[in-house]
Every structure is written in C-alpha cells, then in structure tokens.
Amino acid sequence: MNTNRTATGENPICFQHYRDLPREMFAESIPVPTASPSLIELNKNLLRQLGIDASWFNSEQALSILSGSSINDDNRPIALAYSGHQFGHWSPTLGDGRAHMLGQVKTAEGKYLDFQLKGSGRSQFSRGGDGRATLGSVMREYLLSEAMAGLGIATTRSIAMLATGDSVAREQLNPGAILVRSAQSHLRVGSFQFANAQAANTRSFQSQPVTSGVKALADFTIAKHFPELEQSTSKYLDLLSAVGKRQAELIAEWMLVGFIHGVMNTDNVSIVGETIDFGPCAFMDEFSPKKVFSSIDTQGRYAWDQQPAIAQWNLTRLAETLLSLFDEDQEKSIELAQQCLSEFMPQFQKAYQSGLTQKFGFPDSNEQTKQLTSEFLAAMARNGVDFTVFFSSLTQVAEGESDQVVINLFEDSDVVTALIKQWQELRAKDNETLSSMRQANPAVIARNHQVQFAIDAAVENNDFLPFRRLCRVLANPYQIDPADEDLMTPPKFEERVTQTFCGT
Ligand code: AMP
Ligand code: MG
C-alpha cells in the first residue's frame, strides 16, 4: 500500500536515514493503535517556518499515521537503541521504549528533520513500561520545548499533540496522548555508548578485532550533522570537540534563563546539542543555585549550578566510546581526549560570562563586572529574588525607570542600592546595548505554576485555552502585550509548584 499520496497533500515524512546505521542500532517497531485518536494541536507556525505543507496533517491519513493506527509501508517506523548512565548508573539497554521514529522530512532549506512519535506504544526496548505518555507530560514537553525555541535555545520541537482516547495508568488514571516531535537528530551520547558496548561484546567472542559500530555511527553523525569535519585528518577528535562546544554553549544558555533540565543522563544528551527529553525540567522562579525540581533527584545531581560539571562528565563518557578512533596508540588517544575535554569548562565559562555581560548591559566582561555580577547573584539568592523579574526589571532601569524598580525586589535594600550604584557606573548606556539587554532578558518564561495550571485545565475540564495562550506568549518571550502581563508574575506562595515528575 502506498499511503504517501492523499487528496489533502503529501505525507512529508518520507526518508528513514537511521536504516543506514549498523543493524543493531535500531529495531523494526510498529506503533500500537489507540482507541479513538484525535488531533489536539498542530504547530502550524513551525510547519510554515520549515516550509512544510500543513494540509496533510489535517487529513485522515495523517491522523491514522500520527496516532500509530497505520504505518507508511514505504517508510516503516523504527525504534532506536541506546544505552545510558542514569544518575551515574550504567544501563546497557535503554532505547526508544515509548517512541517510534517515523522518519525524516526535508525542509524548504534542504535540511532533514526527524519526526518521531512519543507515547506511541511498546517496542522491544520498553522493558516493564507501557509505552505510553500521559496528556500532562505531553503538554509539558510541548510547552517547554516551544518555550525554549521562543528563547532562541537549541531544542527539539513540537509538531503536534494527539489525544489517544485511552487511559494511562500512573498513580492514577490519566488521559493518554502522543507527541509528534521533530529534531535535527535523535542520536544521543547513549547511542555511542550502545554502539561501543555492542562492539565490546562482539570483540570478546572473536579473536579478530571487529569493525567498530562506533566508527559507523561516528561517520554517520559527521556526514549528516558535522559535514565540515569530513575532510579533517582528526575528524573523530574534532567530533568530540564540536559536540563539547555545542554542549558548553547550550548549558550556558539554559543557565542564563534559569532552566534546569532535571535528567541530564547520558541518554538524554543530544549529540547535535539540542535540548531533548523534557521530563521533570523547570525554569526557576526565585534564584537559588542549588535549585532542583525533579522529585527523583534527591542528591541534587542535576541542580542548576551542577549542569556544566555534569555535561563535562557526560562528554567524558562520549570520549570513552570514541577513544580507539583517535589514535592507534591508546596512551596517545587518552592524552588527546583529555586535552579536548579540558576545553569544555573554559568554553562554558566564556559563553556564560558573555551571556551575563549581555544580561547586565556591560560593554564587556572584566574582573570588575564579573565581581559585580557574582555579588548581584549572591544577593538575589540571599533575598529569594525572582531570576526573570530581576533581569527584566534591570532592563527597565536601563530604559530609564528609577533604580527603585530593582531595589524594591530585595529586602536587603542597602546592599542592592550599593550594587545598583556600581552597575550604573559600569554599564554601557547606548541604544545598541539596551536592545541587546532586551534580547537577553525575557519578560516571560514557562513558569511551573502556569504550566501546571494549563495542564490541569486541559486534563480536568478539557479546556485548552490556557495552554494555547501560554504557547502564543512563550513563542515571543522578549515582547509582551499589556493583556498578557499577568504571565510575568511569579507565583504567590500558595501557587508555587516546587516539584516536578518524570511523568512517564
Ligand atoms: P526518560 O527518563 O523519559 O528519558 O526515559 C528513560 C528510558 O525509559 C528510555 O529508554 C525510555 O524509552 C524508557 N521509558 C520511559 N517511559 C516509558 C514507558 N512509559 N514505557 C516504556 N519505556 C519507557
Ligand atoms: Mg530519555
């Protein structure tokens, strides 16, 4: 059956690049049909930006394919295999336990994007899980990924959200849903760990060394995502370096908007540097460097200020899988890897400091501005000042409002008055700096209590208006209409949502 052509446009998901990978890297996997699927949300703006005709997505055929009720026989879905260190513990066989890779679309720019279903039923990687996702967790990922995109931060995107009509049993029964998400790639650090573990298994059974699946995976990754490295004589080391650079910049961007990913396990680290797998992630309200939201992160492993060190730890796990490709001499390989990994923290610091410089409106970064920045952050933490409100208030002062707008946020007014005075002396006062400050300091973020409010309205009352409003406002978080200013407000004490859950 060729299901590609319909009266309402053509199915754009018509490539399946991952089939070029070694056979052990994926499994044939057919989504499991659901009771009475319906399309809840279609990201028409994104499809338009990508140059993809949205009409197909409203067709019966699209509903059937995106809900897992039928497949495109010309382009059969697969589940990807990967391993991972989860909270530091090695899990050899994870993989897409509740996701199906439908394939890739080609955008108007000529780039290929993965389209994947999440919550589409069991696969051979499901272990004890049901392969399903709750409406709440799908709405969360939809909102948070689109909020990241609105902030200009690399992320997987949400294309559509479907209700399944089935219930999903967690602590209680929840409505089920499926997310259709896009990504430049779904390869993770955990994909390389899986390939490496497979190669190690095979090696132990054979006297001859086998061609490493890691090499095939690295070659695939370079060809698809880092083509500029193709001609390099040290391309595998350059790959590690490029992944590290993207991670350093990504983590800096997260931290500069107060984002805490929550589950930075190696299986949730995208090889192309996109934010991926939005589980118990959150934006913090009041600034607190040790902030953790995830209910299962009891040790604070993935706290806001731990994210750079964890990213470097994850990169080290990636380096281990690539070692044999760096040099024939193992000692030399280790030396090269260590040298490459040592670049991570300076790269992170550079990106983070340059972001802070922009947020504060300084002309450049020097010892004085760094000192003042850390004193401000320390005072914010001591006074429980809202991170986002602080920086948008500072922008208002730079626009000509009184210093008092910032001073009023702190209980400790003597300290902040002195800091603001120093800031006024050090900051640049030209229009360019002001517009750059506006670009660095969002007025709105996806606040936990508002995300929860939108989810509750949908789950309890089938009311998707708060969700749609949040999506609209978060798509453009640096400019806000007066009618939406209530979304800038931090939660009242009784509205605070202090814990988030994996929502699996
Ligand atoms: P996550 O913490 O969502 O990144 O998932 C970690 C691993 O658990 C991945 O291999 C997922 O595919 C798998 N997983 C999570 N939830 C489920 C579920 N409901 N059913 C099957 N597998 C799942
Ligand atoms: Mg994951």
| Model confidence pLDDT, tens digit, residues 182-222 | 999 999 999 999 999 998 877 666 544 445 899 999 999 99
| Model confidence pLDDT, tens digit, residues 87-129 | 999 999 999 999 999 999 999 999 999 999 999 999 999 999 9
Mean pLDDT of the chain: 95
User: Could you tell me if residue 270 is inside a domain?
Assistant: no
Give the pLDDT mean for 425-450.
98
- Judged by phi (left if over 0) then psi (alpha if -120 to 50, else beta), residue 14 lies in alpha
User: Could you tell me if residue 65 is inside a domain?
Assistant: yes
pLDDT grade for 303, boundaries at 50, 70 and 90: very high
How far apart CA 99 and CA 118 sit, in angstroms, is: 4
pLDDT at residue number 226: 98
pLDDT grade for 7, boundaries at 50, 70 and 90: low
Nearest alpha carbon, ligand 1 atom 11: 97
User: Could you tell me if residue 67 is inside a domain?
Assistant: yes
124 lines ligand 1 (CB under 6 A): no
Q: Minimal CA–CA distance to 182: which of 151, 164, 161?
A: 161
Catalytic site includes residue 267:
yes
Q: Between these two residues, 357 and 7, which has the higher pLDDT value?
A: 357
pLDDT higher than threshold 60 for residue 54: yes
Instruction: Name the token pair of 380.
Output: 């914010």
pLDDT grade for 5, boundaries at 50, 70 and 90: very low
- For the CA of 95, the closest atom of ligand 1 is 10
Give the pLDDT mean for 312-322.
98
How far apart CA 208 and CA 3 sit, in angstroms, is: 45
| Model confidence pLDDT, tens digit, residues 339-386 | 999 999 999 999 999 999 999 999 999 999 999 999 999 999 999 999
What HEC string does 436-486 produce? HHHHHCCCCCCEHHHHHHHHHHHHHHCCCHHHHHHHHHHCCCCCCCHHHHH
Give the pLDDT mean for 399-414.
98
Nearest-ligand number for the alpha carbon of 188: 2
280 lines ligand 1 (CB under 6 A): no
User: Could you tell me if residue 376 is inside a domain?
Assistant: yes
- For the CA of 277, the closest atom of ligand 1 is 4
Q: Which of 96, 114, 267, 386 is catalytic?
A: 267
User: Could you tell me if residue 267 is inside a domain?
Assistant: no
Cα 465 to averaged position of ligand 2 atoms, centre (Å): 29
Q: Between these two residues, 224 and 504, which has the higher pLDDT value?
A: 224
How far apart CA 413 and CA 404 sit, in angstroms, is: 10
pLDDT at residue number 502: 74
Cα 277 to averaged position of ligand 2 atoms, centre (Å): 5
How far apart CA 264 and CA 262 sit, in angstroms, is: 6
131 lines ligand 1 (CB under 6 A): yes
pLDDT higher than threshold 70 for residue 72: yes
Domain residues for the domain of 377 are 352-440
Cα of 157 vs its chain's centroid, Å: 9
pLDDT at residue number 1: 40
pLDDT at residue number 203: 65
297 lines ligand 1 (CB under 6 A): no
Least confident of 1-10, 157-166, 230-239: 1-10
97 lines ligand 1 (CB under 6 A): yes
Nearest-ligand number for the alpha carbon of 502: 1
- For the CA of 263, the closest atom of ligand 1 is 2
Instruction: Name the token pair of 482.
Output: 């007066």
User: Could you tell me if residue 214 is inside a domain?
Assistant: no
- For the CA of 94, the closest atom of ligand 1 is 10
pTM value > 0.85: yes
How far apart CA 403 and CA 424 sit, in angstroms, is: 9
How far apart CA 488 and CA 77 sit, in angstroms, is: 41
- For the CA of 99, the closest atom of ligand 1 is 12
129 lines ligand 1 (CB under 6 A): yes
Nearest-ligand number for the alpha carbon of 170: 1
Ligand 1 pocket test target in 89, 94, 188 with most atoms within 8 Å of CB:
94
Ligand 1 pocket test target in 168, 263, 504 with most atoms within 8 Å of CB:
504
- For the CA of 133, the closest atom of ligand 1 is 19
Nearest alpha carbon, ligand 1 atom 12: 97
Cα 82 to averaged position of ligand 1 atoms, centre (Å): 11
Q: Among 385, 417, 440, where does a domain finish?
A: 440
pLDDT at residue number 449: 97
Phi, psi values for residue 170, rounded to 5°: -120, -130
Cα 279 to averaged position of ligand 2 atoms, centre (Å): 8
277 lines ligand 1 (CB under 6 A): yes
Q: Among 154, 187, 220, where does a domain finish?
A: 187
Contact 74, 102 (CB under 8 A): no
Nearest-ligand number for the alpha carbon of 97: 1
Q: Minimal CA–CA distance to 358: which of 152, 195, 497?
A: 152
Cα 138 to averaged position of ligand 1 atoms, centre (Å): 13
pLDDT at residue number 204: 61
Cα 204 to averaged position of ligand 2 atoms, centre (Å): 29
User: Could you tell me if residue 76 is inside a domain?
Assistant: yes
Neighbours of 167 (CB within 10 A): 14
User: Could you tell me if residue 295 is inside a domain?
Assistant: no
286 lines ligand 1 (CB under 6 A): no
- For the CA of 267, the closest atom of ligand 1 is 4
| Model confidence pLDDT, tens digit, residues 448-462 | 999 999 999 999 999
pLDDT higher than threshold 50 for residue 6: no
Q: Among 136, 162, 187, where does a domain finish?
A: 187
Nearest-ligand number for the alpha carbon of 91: 1
pLDDT at residue number 500: 87
Ligand 1 pocket test target in 32, 98, 156 with most atoms within 8 Å of CB:
98
Q: Which residue matches tokens 């650090």?
A: 189
pLDDT higher than threshold 70 for residue 504: no
Cα 35 to averaged position of ligand 2 atoms, centre (Å): 26
Cα 171 to averaged position of ligand 2 atoms, centre (Å): 20
Contact 412, 379 (CB under 8 A): yes
**Sequence-separated (6 or more) residues with CB below 8 Å from residue 331:** none
- Judged by phi (left if over 0) then psi (alpha if -120 to 50, else beta), residue 496 lies in beta
- The per-type count for the chain, helices as H runs and strands as E runs, is 16, 14
CA distances from 275 to 141, 223, 470 (A): 11, 21, 20
The total number of structural domains in the chain stands at 2
Give the pLDDT mean for 378-404.
98
